[in-house]
A = this chain, B = another copy of it.
Amino acid sequence: MKVVYSIEDLRKTVQTWRKSGETIALIPTMGALHDGHLSLVSIGRSYCQRTIVTIFVNPTQFGENEDLATYPSDFIQDKKILEKANVDLLFAPSVKEIYPSDFATQISVKGLSQEMCGAIRPGHFEGVATVVTKLFLQALPDTAIFGEKDFQQLQVIRRLTADLNIPVKIISGPTVRDADGLALSSRNSYLSESELKIAPVLYSTLKSAAQAIKANNSNIEHICEGALQSLLTAGFLSVDYFDVRDENTMMTVTKIKGAERIFCAAHLKGARLIDNFKL
């Protein structure tokens, strides 16, 4: 596996591949890799001949009181994992490589990026949209793979890719879970042993709510409110949202028509957890 740190070196490798007519999949990550990331790499390999993984902890998508400074990082371990997964190229730029001192451009996506995590984390999706656009235009891959765990992020990226006519196909990968149902996340490493026992309740509560909604389609709001309360009872400190939303517009719905997902973001002391799945 080749490791490059500059946009110039990334492009050189990509150009070599392009000249031999090879297709390229990009998997952007913030490092601290787990099996969720590796499932995205596998999907990339199934679509394209070459895979690029990027590791960049993007400062502009973190809020002022968020965990930028403590975000988990183990570059040597990540490199080993990606080598074993037969990744062709690891791009690990510095913050200065991505944001030179005179950097001044921002991309925003109205509507769907202002709901849920967008409302709770102002500026987050602008940071995501801008850095993902940059990574796309640096590498110009054929496809890019993103996890459904961050479903709102996935849809924001789909929207901006279509809107800006970026010639990259967006593919999503299903959420990978621990045996107890907890969605894999780099931030799970923040959780204490006792919190790791509470954390899976997020998924089981989503499942229970989904079942109740299927049985009683007209009472979505009431069911979500009850589920939210039961998370607090289970030991979550607060719940940012527990909602059923249209998966394209990210707007709340009052009826299930076939394109809805159930979403939740909830806090333990160690970490804010998010999860979702299709109804």
Residues of A within 8 A of B (CB): 7, 11, 102-113, 129-130, 133-134, 137-138, 140, 159-160, 163-167
A144 and B142 alpha carbons, distance in the complex (Å): 24
Least CB distance, A160 to chain B, in whole angstroms: 5
A113 and B104 alpha carbons, distance in the complex (Å): 9
* Contact in complex: B105, A159 (CB < 8 Å): yes
A165 partner residues in chain B, CB cutoff 8 A: 7, 134, 137-138
Identify the interface centre among A102, A109, A160: most chain B CB within 10 Å of its CB.
Answer: A102
A164 partner residues in chain B, CB cutoff 8 A: 105, 107, 130, 133-134, 137
Judged by DSSP, the binding face of A is mixed
A134 partner residues in chain B, CB cutoff 8 A: 163-165
A-B contacts besides A105-B109, A134-B165, 19 pairs, CB < 8 Å? A11-B167, A102-B159, A103-B163, A104-B110, A104-B113, A104-B159, A105-B107, A105-B110, A105-B159, A105-B160, A106-B107, A106-B110, A130-B164, A133-B164, A134-B164, A137-B137, A137-B166, A138-B165, A140-B167
A138 partner residues in chain B, CB cutoff 8 A: 165
A163 partner residues in chain B, CB cutoff 8 A: 103-105, 134
* Contact in complex: B104, A106 (CB < 8 Å): no
A105 partner residues in chain B, CB cutoff 8 A: 107-110, 129, 159-160, 163-164
Least CB distance, A236 to chain B, in whole angstroms: 32
A7 partner residues in chain B, CB cutoff 8 A: 165
A166 and B138 alpha carbons, distance in the complex (Å): 7
A209 and B110 alpha carbons, distance in the complex (Å): 44
A110 and B107 alpha carbons, distance in the complex (Å): 11
A160 partner residues in chain B, CB cutoff 8 A: 105
20 A-B contacts (beta carbon < 8 Å): A7-B165, A104-B109, A104-B110, A104-B111, A104-B113, A104-B159, A105-B129, A105-B160, A105-B164, A106-B107, A106-B109, A106-B110, A107-B107, A107-B164, A130-B164, A133-B164, A134-B165, A137-B137, A138-B165, A140-B167
A166 and B112 alpha carbons, distance in the complex (Å): 25
Closest B residue, CB atoms, query A126 = B108
Closest B residue, CB atoms, query A166 = B137
